[in-house]
Chains A and B, each alone.
Chain A
Amino acid sequence: MYGIIAFFRRYYFSLLFIVLEIISLGFVFTNNYYHEAGYFNSSNRVAGAVYSSYSGFTSYFNLQNVNHQLADENTQLLNLASQIKDTAIHKKILITNPFGQLYHFIPAEVIDNSTNLPNNYLTLHAGSEDGVGEGMGIISPLGIVGIVVKASAHYSVVMSLLHQKTLVSAMFKKSGTFGTLAWGDNKDYRFATLNQIPMSEKVKPGDTIVTSGFSNTFPKGIMVGTVDNFKAIPELYFYTIRIKLSTDFKNLRYVYVVCDIEKIEKEALEKDAQNSLNDKTK
């Protein structure tokens, strides 16, 4: 017994060091935003407040760019709205894709953003009280941005497309051939890589890439970017294509959270079913 106490007295500094390292590395290696109820991320009140007051100061610097983006988008939407009126198909402003998914969009302000880290995140000033939930896609007027990984009441953290773990299903607008989009080894905020495009596809630089809509995170047909260059991997019969992203990640100010209405409905239903099952077993 005395030996143990003496041991701890002698090595407490090293032991404390080891304990703290195990705690931190435990955070690093088990960190999975979808399952961990971690408080230590920028969606908490302190970080959110610091970022939103800071972004209040700096928002003036890129206003001109942002205004242009919003004006362009308004023009597009007005054109779209006039088409809808002409054909009188839709009574409500919702986007439908061939699978019958319905989406609605929540506006959000970007209060923090980075583009130069190996894993980039955005912090939005919109949270679960505004309807933002984990797993929802984020788009900007110019194209896709990322996926929500954590939402608190008033803030949310978004895993940017510029993140090693972000994967998005994307396709050629002209042919519908789809593959997986990842930031991968680009380390450049302007480019990403589209993988698994079969060599039967006739790829040309400048071809438009849009989201495929397979994962319900993004509606079908949201702009991703254009083909910059490509190289063939003959043994796999695939192309690896470098995509010039359409989203200007350095000038993100206002974005939209994509809400898949049916997904929410489905989840609510599953929860209900679970609850009623639990009630019956009681």
Chain B
Amino acid sequence: MIEAGKNILRFSFFILLQVTIIRHLDAGIYFNPFLFIGAILMLPLRANKTLVLIIAFATGLIIDMFYNTMGMNAAACTFMAFCRPWALKVYAPAGDYNADASATVNSMGVRWMISYASTLIFIHHFILFYLEAFSFHDFFSTFLKIILSGITTLILFLITQSLFFRN
């Protein structure tokens, strides 16, 4: 129960941060970080994957509502949540995750976090930005945007973790 409350708080925090501050950073067209996906990344490692899928879809829809990008974030988040069990498996430490391990730097270490987060961030941004561009017409400029925005998201995510989620 406390765990669920914590997760809801974390989601509200990330979504509010996204739609108020991050959305207005306005550092040019190549930097569009989507930090809110951090909330999905930080769900418990052993969370039911079906539940994660539904949560990701709902979170995406909420962000779509604020960005007026009907369905694009929902599609990207759902895809990311679908890939999450696979990413967790690929980056699993020897002898699998500890029972009390959580998806934080403190628990899993910086190296694990960077590889796990950057993989899923890339997947999310890839789907989102190509849907948004609506074509492969500007293939390279969109790809550059995915890389630069993805790196920004990753850095912001690591900073947010070290500031607000120390334990």
Chain A contacts to B: CB under 8 angstroms: 12-14, 16-17, 20-21, 23-28, 31, 38, 40-42, 44, 46-47, 50-51, 54, 58, 114-119, 121, 157, 164, 185, 187-188, 250
Residue numbers of B with Cβ under 8 A of A are 16, 19-20, 23-24, 26-29, 31-32, 49-50, 53-54, 57, 60-61, 64-72, 74-75, 78-79, 82, 131-134, 138, 141
Given A13-B53, A21-B75, also A50-B19 (CB < 8 A): yes
Are A121 and B20 interface neighbours, CB within 8 A? Answer: no
- Kindly state the separation between the CA atoms of A16 and B56 in the bound complex, as whole angstroms: 12
Asked whether B66 lies within 8 Å of A31 as measured between CB atoms, the reply is: no
Contact call B26/A116, Cβ cutoff below 8 A: yes
List, in ascending order, chain A residues with CB within 8 A of B16's CB. 50
Q: Determine the chain A residues whose CB is within 8 A of the CB of B27 once the complex forms.
A: 116
Residue of A28, A40, A115, A117 near B131 (CB, 8 A) is: A28
C-alpha spacing A230/B72, complex, angstroms = 35
Q: Are B66 and A27 in contact (CB under 8 A)?
A: no
Instruction: Report how many A-B pairs have Cβ atoms within 8 Å.
Output: 99
Kindly state the separation between the CA atoms of A47 and B66 in the bound complex, as whole angstroms.
6
> With A31-B71, A38-B70 given, is the CB distance from A47 to B132 under 8 Å?
no
**Which B residues touch A14, using CB under 8 A?**
82
The 9 lowest CB-CB distance pairs between A and B, nearest first, are A27-B71, A24-B75, A24-B74, A28-B71, A121-B68, A24-B71, A31-B70, A40-B65, A17-B82
Main secondary structure of the interface of B (DSSP, over half): helix
Report whether A26 and B50 are in contact in the complex, using a CB–CB cutoff of 8 Å: no
Residues of A within 8 A of B70 (CB): 27-28, 31, 38, 40-41
Cross-interface CB contact of A16 among B29, B50, B72, B138, cutoff 8 Å = B50
Find out whether the CB atom of B78 lies under 8 angstroms from the CB atom of A17.
yes
Say yes or no: A115-B68 contact (C-beta < 8 A), given A20-B78, A21-B75: no
